[in-house]
Structure 1
Amino acid sequence: MEDATERTALLSGSPKPAANGSLSAGRNGSPARPNGRGSPVPVAVGDRDRITLRWADIHVSAPARGGGCCRKAKPEDLEPIHILKGVSGTVEPGTLLAIMGASGAGKSTLLNVLTYRNRGNLSVEGTVEVNGQPIGKDITAVSAYVQQDDLFIGVLTVREHLRFQARLRMDKHIPHDVRMARVEEVIIQMGLSKCADTKIGTPGRKKGISGGEMKRLAFASEVLTNPPLMFCDEPTSGLDAFMAESVVNTLQGVANQGRTILCTIHQPSSETYALFDQVLIMAEGRVAYMGPTSEVIDFFGSVGYACPPAFNPADFFIQTLAIRPGKEEKSRDRVEKICDQFQEVRENKDSKKQLAANHVDYGVVEDYSSRSRYKASWLQQFLAMMWRCHLQNTRDPMIMGVRTGQAIFVGLLVGIVYLQIEYNQDGILNINGALFLMLTNIAFSHIFSVINVFPAELPIFRREHGNGMYRTDVYFLCKTIAELPYFIVLPLGFTAICYWMVGLYAGWQEFLICYAIITITANVSVSAGYMVSTISPSVDVAMAIAAPMLIPLMLFGGFFLKANSVPVYFIWLEYISWFKYSNELLCINQWSPVVNITCTEGIPFCLETGKDVLANLSYDEDNFYVDLYALIGLMVGFRLLSFIFLLIRSWKD
């Protein structure tokens, strides 16, 4: 009766009060109930949610190295590099498996194969099954992956980060208050209460939480959703022995509720090692042992490598299977002997027991390929991402302070240099120079302010997008929309300072048109910056591309070269140069209403009106709307291209 009541409460979204007044847990991230030791753990999963993971005869090889440009290829360089050689194994629900081995043993490669990530150009053979069904890349729909590198948005606090994760990684039907309750439970569970409202920080730039707290936050982000299958890549790296044991103890508590958990771990302490149910020891891409932790010492003893008393078993296994410098051949012979012996022991097991293990009654098998990789709806993704982007923009002084200061400083500088220009023959050149300088400053400042946006966040985007948190279009839209107010307000301040200090045509209508042109130009530059940003793999590459791209576009902007003097073979550059359209628009707006320009004595050719100035520049007033539509087209086109480039990069992941 109590179980039925609990199920009803969970399905309705209302957590059921426990006897001690705490909340019981629901599936997919609802609150957890205490485990008796003061640490909340998730409740057991139902039979349909339990996962048996099996991989069979996994072979992984990398392409041959080949010869270099300065040396002849050796015979071994022409052969593929075998990383994994016939690796097989099975992990049942409720099991915590440790994957161990010396450096280069193949631990990370096996984890990448099982999680269908970071395969690159590797050749992979074999099968990976979930509940007896080949799973492929759809494994991300039923699993969580705690990666070794800690990647976070540094301006968010610990609590804000977990709330963002909860909004996007929990099932749609879970109410908001239940999600937030789960966040608070995980904060307590992972020992993050003291730093819950502390900004995470960016290593090397802004100090935040400690390395140990950052590692626990990475683990908390995955524990949040109570996944039935978990992969952890070195979850204890960077932690002291006590905290490492605490993390593994938490993993054990999660596994005891029916989860299947695999993690790579590097030489754990003996106390931490004892917490694992099973261990997979790898060496030279082969399996040296896989089975219960309690039997591994007996196996190594049976092949002549007994673990000394009072010695950490994990250290002993790693040292025994390590390839020692100067003794490579002897070490490889020892590894081959142990791996062959284990293979023989596995093959000689009782045939009935082996038959039963290979033909488990998995029960109902779900079609995981039919599951959407996104837990949140498009609107939920959009709102959550907009919230995070807003926090990033308002809390980053590089965005708020530097951009504002730059606009004011350059505006004042241009205004002082061209202060109150007189409308005479010399003033024509000065005014045209001031207009073009306004355009170039707007273009350079705005394109360089955004070219680091996507390269800087690309690792975070790849991870979160790979985890099915949000779509590429949601990410791109939110990043661009969140920054749009800055690219509307900052041009206003810049234009207001320059326009009246320089002494451009004194009319409010002309001023507003000038502001509109400058704003559109700023956003075209931003769009071009986004395009460069999405193409570039790093900020340095983006910086190297942006400047050479702007120079030829400036040359065909109408200031350095008249519009009717462009060589025919460069005409295509003129069409994509927003400087050309913007400069013509500003000149038309400035000179069209001017009816009197003072002539200087001694000059044989005098421009008496603004229309004469436009004719001298080969500009036509009838092109006003053509230029305006061209700028809007470039703005939309560049943004569309940048989105396509980002989409291509997300597909490659």
Structure 2
Amino acid sequence: MRRQVKLEGRVTGVCRPGELLAIMGASGAGKTTLLNVLTHRNNDKLRITGDLFVNGRRVDPDTLTSRSAYVQQDDLFIGLITVREQLIFQAMVRMDRHLTYYQRMSRVDEVISELGLTKCADTKIGVPGRIKGISGGEMKRLAFACEVLTNPPLMLCDEPTSGLDSFMAQNVVAVMKNMAERGKTIISTIHQPSSEVYAMFDRVLLMAEGRVAFLGEVDAAYEFFSRINMPCPPNYNPADFFISTLAVQPGKEDGCRKAINMICDEFTKSEEGVNIEKAVKENSTEGEAEGYDSLVDVEVKKSPYKASWWCQFRTVLWRSWLEVIREPMLIKVRFFQVMAIALLIGIIYFRQQLTQEGVTNINGALFLLLTNMTFQNVFGVINTFCAQLPLFLREHFNGMYRTDVYFLSKMVSELPFHIFYPFAFVAIAYYMVGFTNDVVDFFICATVVILVANCAVSFGYMISCMSKNLSIALAIASPLIIPLMLFGGFFLNSGSTPVYLTWLKYLSWFSYGNEALLLNQWADVKSIACRANETCYPDGHAVLSFLHYESGTIAANIASLVALLVGYRALGLLRATREDL
């Protein structure tokens, strides 16, 4: 089985099954770009010409990607789940849908054993600086384990030894070597390998300035450079010698590029280079007459996803829930934050009476319920999607799950807390302040505050989906919230809203929430105490009339809050789906 690659006519190569091919070169030589071309990733700014051949048959990048695995340089995981849970997640969304749960779990156990992850199988992956987890070598092996679950015949690895010491790097390369010996084709970029690691490679591809400087057996590289009068010194790491020889050194750019072009030209004319070109042409011709093999003889489905929508949702929701409940400190901090603010409001407004001063104080306390639930929840979820954007993009473009699945899973996993916290907040503040002493009114107030909190969460989700990073999300959140708060009916009387800004009131959950809470508080109040020679509100209806809420209904405002809740989340979902976050 042979793989051929061409990049703008400047790179041509062949890799066979059972081989570990190492791509080496100085920084900027084009190693990662070559892998990205093979897997059709991050190529938006490149103009690519050439063909991909598998066993002599031309294939498109999507077909190659569906039957290969790409171990990227950065290890991106959810640090709060264990190694086994990570592999179970991968097995559920990446393996063929006809496989049973038992078969998937058997494959997970098999991969854990093969890659030496048994000791850390039930250890959390870890979050740097916060949660101690597995080691760097185990992290790299886990990255391999995620990719080999589907048993792909072709694997591409981008600098899998980056950041590891020589011993761990040798272990990782040994893993790749073992996979190659089982018949897989392994193509990997390597940065500064030790001499022991270099000796483990079957073949090496040396690149410089986007061109092939050498491609062939490891020992043949010595002979080639000796023939062009650039012999590797004895007792010298050959990898270091080749990389330094093919590097463009500062201050010597012209001389280095001239030497690189000479080396590349010599290789093209050499016996090795001629044989590669000949092998490419022969296999391309043979492939036209032969049938597809197991790698390319696959039906390209309209959907790139292996799992059904429901399976994706169930699996991503399971992982999201684990992520939420395994942040006990965050849960405790948010709980105590809610309790502390509720107690503070209750103490400041303790036992308000139905007097003229009490009207102002009660209205202020009601609006404080809305503002606290808004800012606490908007800024509590605003990093939900920004923080995990790189992980989402990688998993989404690997065909693991849909954008809407990820969005809905995150939303559902956090929903219980977005109901419990507002209810606990109202339960403490309601009777301390002295709102209406009626159980039905209490539950109406709690319902309104819960809906307001979830409207704020929806708004936070929308901002998070609109923003490419957390800094932008935090920068635009307050300027968007303040106008909605100003038209909430507390700072500006509802009847005084300028006509040309009336539309803002209909987008504000402050407006609907404030009106609903005021109606719930004052609609049944028949008498308000008043002193002589004092301008008074005689009853609750007068308060509502002054605020221009006398014709409103609680049901209509609750319905409007539900509409805003759904609307903001729908806008967030549409934005996420359109822009892939």
Whether TM-score is above 0.5 comes out as yes
Provide the identity percentage.
52
User: How many corresponding residue pairs?
Assistant: 574
Residue of structure 1 aligned with 2:105, choices 171, 180, 186: 180
Unaligned runs of 5+ in 1: 1-50, 60-84
Residue of structure 1 aligned with 2:83, choices 158, 163, 169: 158
1:356 aligns with 2:282: yes
Bigger shift: 270-279 or 448-457? 270-279
The equivalent residue for 1:253 is: 178
Question: How many angstroms apart in 2 are the aligned matches of 1:602 and 1:213?
Answer: 80
Paired residues for 1:86-125 under 5 Å? 86-125=10-49
CA shift in 2, pair 1:635/1:130, >3 Å: farther
Cα deviation, residue 454, structure 1: 0.3
Cα deviation, residue 449, structure 1: 0.8
CA shift in 2, pair 1:589/1:138, >3 Å: farther
> Is 2:317–2:409's contact at 8 Å kept on the other side of the alignment?
yes
The equivalent residue for 1:456 is: 387
1:629 aligns with 2:559: yes
1:53 aligns with 2:3: yes
Unaligned runs of 5+ in 2: none
> Is 1:591–1:614's contact at 8 Å kept on the other side of the alignment?
yes
Bigger shift: 336-345 or 132-141? 132-141
Residues 551-594 of structure 1 show CA distances to partners (whole Å, capped at 9, x for unaligned) of 11110000010111111221221111110011000000110011
CA shift in 2, pair 1:180/1:519, >3 Å: same
Question: How many angstroms apart in 2 are the aligned matches of 1:351 and 1:466?
Answer: 33
The one-letter amino acid paired with 2:537 is L
CA shift in 2, pair 1:161/1:626, >3 Å: same
Question: How many angstroms apart in 2 are the aligned matches of 1:337 and 1:348?
Answer: 16
The equivalent residue for 1:388 is: 319
The equivalent residue for 2:262 is: 337
The one-letter amino acid paired with 2:368 is L
Cα deviation, residue 192, structure 1: 2.3
Cα deviation, residue 376, structure 1: 1.7
Residues 600-638 of structure 1 show CA distances to partners (whole Å, capped at 9, x for unaligned) of 2221x3111111110010103444333222211111110
CA shift in 2, pair 1:363/1:295, >3 Å: farther
Bigger shift: 319-328 or 480-489? 319-328
Residues 76-120 of structure 1 show CA distances to partners (whole Å, capped at 9, x for unaligned) of xxxxxxxxx721222233222111100111111111111111224
Residue of structure 2 aligned with 1:607, choices 537, 552, 556: 537
Residues 364-388 of structure 1 show CA distances to partners (whole Å, capped at 9, x for unaligned) of 2525533642222222212211111
SS at match of 2:50: strand
Residue of structure 2 aligned with 1:408, choices 339, 347, 352: 339
Cα deviation, residue 350, structure 1: 9.6
Question: How many angstroms apart in 2 are the aligned matches of 1:641 and 1:398?
Answer: 31
Question: How many angstroms apart in 2 are the aligned matches of 1:613 and 1:350?
Answer: 88
The equivalent residue for 1:616 is: 546
1:643 aligns with 2:568: no
> Is 2:202–2:217's contact at 8 Å kept on the other side of the alignment?
yes
Question: How many angstroms apart in 1 are the aligned matches of 2:495 and 2:345?
Answer: 29
SS at match of 1:124: coil
Residues 37-64 of structure 1 show CA distances to partners (whole Å, capped at 9, x for unaligned) of xxxxxxxxxxxxxx632222x13xxxxx
Residue of structure 2 aligned with 1:289, choices 201, 208, 214: 214
Cα deviation, residue 398, structure 1: 4.8
CA shift in 2, pair 1:371/1:264, >3 Å: farther
> Is 2:4–2:280's contact at 8 Å kept on the other side of the alignment?
no
The two structures, once aligned, show a CA RMSD in angstroms of 1.9
Cα deviation, residue 207, structure 1: 2.4
Question: How many angstroms apart in 1 are the aligned matches of 2:344 and 2:64?
Answer: 58
Paired residues for 1:298-337 under 5 Å? 298-337=223-262
SS at match of 2:10: strand
Residues 220-252 of structure 1 show CA distances to partners (whole Å, capped at 9, x for unaligned) of 211222111211011112223233222222212
The equivalent residue for 1:21 is: none
Cα deviation, residue 420, structure 1: 0.6
Question: How many angstroms apart in 2 are the aligned matches of 1:352 and 1:397?
Answer: 62
SS at match of 1:453: coil
Cα deviation, residue 465, structure 1: 0.9
Cα deviation, residue 355, structure 1: 4.2
The equivalent residue for 2:471 is: 540
> Is 1:140–1:373's contact at 8 Å kept on the other side of the alignment?
no
> Is 1:155–1:392's contact at 8 Å kept on the other side of the alignment?
yes
> Is 2:515–2:552's contact at 8 Å kept on the other side of the alignment?
no
> Is 1:534–1:642's contact at 8 Å kept on the other side of the alignment?
yes
The one-letter amino acid paired with 2:81 is L
> Is 2:213–2:267's contact at 8 Å kept on the other side of the alignment?
yes
The one-letter amino acid paired with 1:491 is P
> Is 1:116–1:139's contact at 8 Å kept on the other side of the alignment?
no
> Is 1:564–1:618's contact at 8 Å kept on the other side of the alignment?
yes
The equivalent residue for 1:373 is: 304
> Is 1:93–1:255's contact at 8 Å kept on the other side of the alignment?
yes
Residue of structure 2 aligned with 1:244, choices 169, 172, 192: 169
The one-letter amino acid paired with 1:190 is L
The one-letter amino acid paired with 1:116 is H
CA shift in 2, pair 1:248/1:123, >3 Å: same
The TM-score with structure 1 as length reference comes to 0.84
1:554 aligns with 2:491: no
Question: How many angstroms apart in 1 are the aligned matches of 2:460 and 2:322?
Answer: 22
Question: How many angstroms apart in 2 are the aligned matches of 1:496 and 1:350?
Answer: 76
The equivalent residue for 1:198 is: 123
> Is 1:588–1:621's contact at 8 Å kept on the other side of the alignment?
no
Bigger shift: 401-410 or 365-374? 365-374
The equivalent residue for 1:593 is: 524
1:144 aligns with 2:72: no
Cα deviation, residue 204, structure 1: 2.8
> Is 1:212–1:238's contact at 8 Å kept on the other side of the alignment?
no
> Is 1:215–1:239's contact at 8 Å kept on the other side of the alignment?
no
Question: How many angstroms apart in 1 are the aligned matches of 2:346 and 2:238?
Answer: 75
The TM-score with structure 2 as length reference comes to 0.95
Cα deviation, residue 468, structure 1: 1.2
1:279 aligns with 2:209: no
